[in-house]
Structure 1
Amino acid sequence: MTSTENTTTDERAYASMAELSAAPLWRQYGELMPAEPPSRARAHLWPYARLRPVALHFSRALSMAEAERRVLMMVNPGLTDPPATVPTLFAGIQIVMPGETARAHRHAANAFRFIIEGDGAVTTVNGEQLAMRPGDLLLTPGWHWHDHAHQGHSPMMWLDGLDYPLVNSLNAGFFELYDAPVQPVANPDEASSRQFRHGRLNPAWRAPSTDHPGVSPVGSYPWEETERALATIAEAASVAGSAAEGILLEYSNPWTGGPVLPTIACRIARLRAGFAGVPRQHTASTIYHVVSGSGSTTVGEQRLDWNDHDTFCVPGWARYAHQVASDGDATLFSYTDEPVLRALGLYREQWL
């Protein structure tokens, strides 16, 4: 058989393969089995000083009834369709104004709120009302009813974190509206936080939920407790912390000692003045929010300069290092998909 005949036969075979919804692995092997993890996500920073005026504009131009949730999505330039901040996680800035209520709903995706500014608002999660104060971390596990109400006097703004990009990629997303604008308060306010606020002394009359395994029973991790822990440890000069992340603490599930949500680990770090992180990379994608202070993070060849309340992301397997000037400490809140990667045996890291 001649070369021309071979080519003609191959073309017919490839065409038949396509008609059968099949494809030749040998033509895509390098793309399907890369030497290192590729990522469409890019390192990117969203400046709060520029996002805040936009959020305030839409607080006047768009009612809660029109918006359902008034959120500015932080869309990674490499992940615009569908929109995500990193491949598995989402970040957004939500704003609720005095007198407003964000109606009750629930979804399969796990979520949390890290409060940026404001006072006088509450979120109700499965019948438990939780106060929202700057620096507080509030959990909204998957398929928990939740609504927000604001009776304060100034804008209430927070960082929304969700794992809906992961949930939707697994084709496991569900959503449901509550049959009333708000759900009834059925439990004492902040009961879960008060019960589990005492280190490793957990209430013996309760047991881990079988309906939501891996979900922390704590509704709110208040900033006053977080700041106290950070300050106590950071004041000890002998405690160096992580060479890459400084004094790094993880919000934990008191039942397991592990992450607060099955798919999301939440952490807080104090970077001392003059901190220069050792570069490293890992397969987990991470979103950072600047609680206070200023500094920079070098991701690959890109430098991200950050200030109070900015948000930035480091894609998985990207080389990164944090730096803080010598004139003051910085505090970074972060969340990551590391629990998913560890559960699947896919977490890997290396120091550079």
Structure 2
Amino acid sequence: MKESDELKAFDAKLQSENLGPLWSSIHALNTIEPKAKPIPYLWKKAHIERHLEEAARLMEVGGAVERRAVFLINPGMKDLQPLGWGGATQTLYAAVQAVKPGEIAPAHRHTTTALRFIMKGRGAEGRVDGEKIPFEPGDYLITPTWAWHDHANQGDETVLWMDCLDTPFTMYMNVCFTEFHPDKQQPLQVPDDYSAQRYEGGMVRPVSDRTPQIAPLGRYKWEQTSRGLEGLSRFDPDPIEGYAVEYINPSTGKDANDRIGARMQKLPLKFRGKAHRHVHSCVYHAFKGKGYTVMNGVRFDWSEGDFFVIPSWTWHEHVNTSDEEEALLFSTNDLPIMEAFQFERAEELQEHDGHQQIQEVFEPIL
């Protein structure tokens, strides 16, 4: 719509009085397709860990400091106050948390829901609603909404893990409550690693869990996830994902965390996935191997320990550049939220045999 100078002046007057002219803004409000606020981005492992080491020099966890964690702020989100809402994407917060030997991160709970993926180190454990859960590299752990949780390291090495919460979503909805436990650690109510022992059988469940529960299984052991990927690997890989599994709630069959999805995928040697895009956004952690992901024509090179984000409706494809080592990618997503509101849709790239033309290479902060 072409506006006259008089109409433009009228539009400005409306806005100055906290009103809006739909005639000139309808296409900005009703977009033809999603226009994500966050942008494709990548953070290098060494960059994050260097700052965690400095944080470890400056502070101890357990007193005034509750958690030692460095979180990812997407450049497209950083104008939001405070601190870009902690947004790696418009719905997902992601961080790397470090707990040194002897430290206890005190107990609290909040309406944001959380999950953890153990990156490296042994000897740490968490308590979630009265259950002590050991942490091993490759484990995936659930902290449901409003569940008491604390962390401790009784080993002799620093333990690092990825945190993912739906903080930007709860910030936008203005629904975040937090409560602090009167004791540094909550009391234990069941045997250690109770839920994982109840589910030793894998794809069978205790009869008592036929009734849906929010998180009957708190720890998904790496050895079981690895076996799942090995079984898939006897067959041809998916042309987009390679070999991928998702973590599910055994009492419902839905995502293990009710608001945040999570997956582990393996890219076989020299795998070159085809491109697609979807409404849900993702945060990726390169658990093993090296390769690159093309997002909207930009190549993002990653290696073990790195993080990258795929915003909503972004073309993307994954490539394993090695002919010697398979690549493992852990990822989180907001698919449960998108499906709940029936927003989700996906599309596969048809041109160029399903592959994007690389127009530039991303240069990360080192």
State the one-letter code of the partner of 1:280: H
Q: How far off its partner does 1:152 sit?
A: 0.5
Which of 313, 317, 326 in structure 2 is aligned with 1:329? 326
Distance 1:317 1:191, change over 3 A: same
Shift of 1:224: 1.2
Identity of aligned residues (%): 34
Rounded to whole Å, the distance in 2 between the matches of 1:331 and 1:161 is 18
Q: CA contact under 8 A between 1:45 and 1:312: conserved in structure 2? A: yes
* TM-score, L = length of structure 1: 0.92
Q: Does 1:315 align with 2:311?
A: yes
Structure 1: distance between partners of 2:287 and 2:200: 22
Following superposition, the deviation at residue 67 of structure 1 comes to: 2.6
Q: State the 1:7 CA deviation.
A: 4.2
Match of 1:243 among 239, 244, 247: 239
How much does 1:345 deviate? 1.0
C-alpha contact (below 8 Å) 2:115/2:257 kept by paired residues:
no
CA distance in structure 1 between the aligned counterparts of 2:183 and 2:172, rounded to whole angstroms: 30
Residue type matched to 2:25 in 1? Q
The alpha-carbon deviation at position 17 of structure 1 amounts to 7.6
Change beyond 3 A, Cα 1:156–1:30: same
Distance 2:225 2:14 in 1: 62
Q: Could you tell me which residue of structure 1 aligns to residue 276 of structure 2?
A: 280
CA distance in 1, matches of 2:136, 2:14: 62
- Partner deviation per Cα, 1:129-161 (whole Å, 9 max, x = no partner): 000110001110110000001111011110000
Shift of 1:27: 2.0
Which runs of 5 or more residues in structure 2 are unaligned?
350-366
> Matched residues in 2 for 1:93 and 1:13: separation?
46
Q: Describe the shift of the 1:293–1:204 C-alpha distance in structure 2 as closer, same or farther (beyond 3 A).
A: same
Distance 1:169 1:208, change over 3 A: farther
1:166-225 residue CA offsets vs partner (Å, 9 max, x unmatched):
11111111111111111111111111111123233211124545xxx6x33111001111
Q: Which residue of 2 aligns with 1:67?
A: 65
- Aligned to 2:269, what secondary structure does the other structure show? coil
| 3-state DSSP of counterpart to 2:91 | coil
- Residues 1:229 and 1:73: Cα distance change in structure 2 (over 3 Å): same
Q: Is the 8 A contact 2:261 2:332 kept in 1?
A: yes
CA distance in 2, matches of 1:14, 1:297: 43
Offset at 1:11? Answer: 5.6
Using the alignment, how far apart are the partners of 2:15 and 2:307 within structure 1?
47
RMSD: 1.9
Contact 2:11 2:20 in 1 (8 A): no
Map Cα deviations across residues 101-155 of structure 1 (whole Å, 9 max, x no partner): 0000001011011001111111000000000110001110110000001111011
| Residues 18 and 53 (structure 1), Cα distance of their counterparts in 2 relative to 1, 3 Å cut | closer
Looking at structure 1, the residues matched to 44 and 94 of structure 2 have their Cα atoms a distance apart, in angstroms, of 13
Q: Secondary structure at the match of 2:107?
A: strand
- Output aligned runs, 1:47-196, within 5 Å: 47-64=44-61, 65-80=63-78, 81=80, 82=84, 83-196=86-199
The alignment status of 1:199 with 2:202, answered yes or no, reads yes
CA distance in 2, matches of 1:218, 1:297: 32
Structure 1 residue 36: deviation in Å? Answer: 1.1
Q: Is the 8 A contact 1:216 1:252 kept in 2?
A: no
Letter paired with 1:57: E
Q: Which runs of 5+ in 1 are unaligned?
A: none
Q: C-alpha displacement at 1:88, in angstroms?
A: 0.3
Is 1:264 aligned with 2:263? no
Shift of 1:18: 5.2
Do the aligned residues in 1 keep the contact of 2:11 with 2:21 (CA within 8 Å)?
A: no
Paired residues in the alignment total 339
Of 50-59 and 147-156, the range deviating more from structure 2: 50-59
1:22 is displaced (CA, Å) by 2.9
Q: TM-score, normalised by structure 2?
A: 0.88
d(CA) in 2 for partners of 1:85 and 1:254?
28
Report the residue type matching 1:288 in the other structure. Y
Say if 2:298 is the partner of 1:298. no
Counterpart Cα distance in 2 of 1:339 and 1:7:
47
Moved more, 280-289 or 321-330: 321-330
Q: Distance in 2 between matches of 1:12 and 1:245?
A: 51
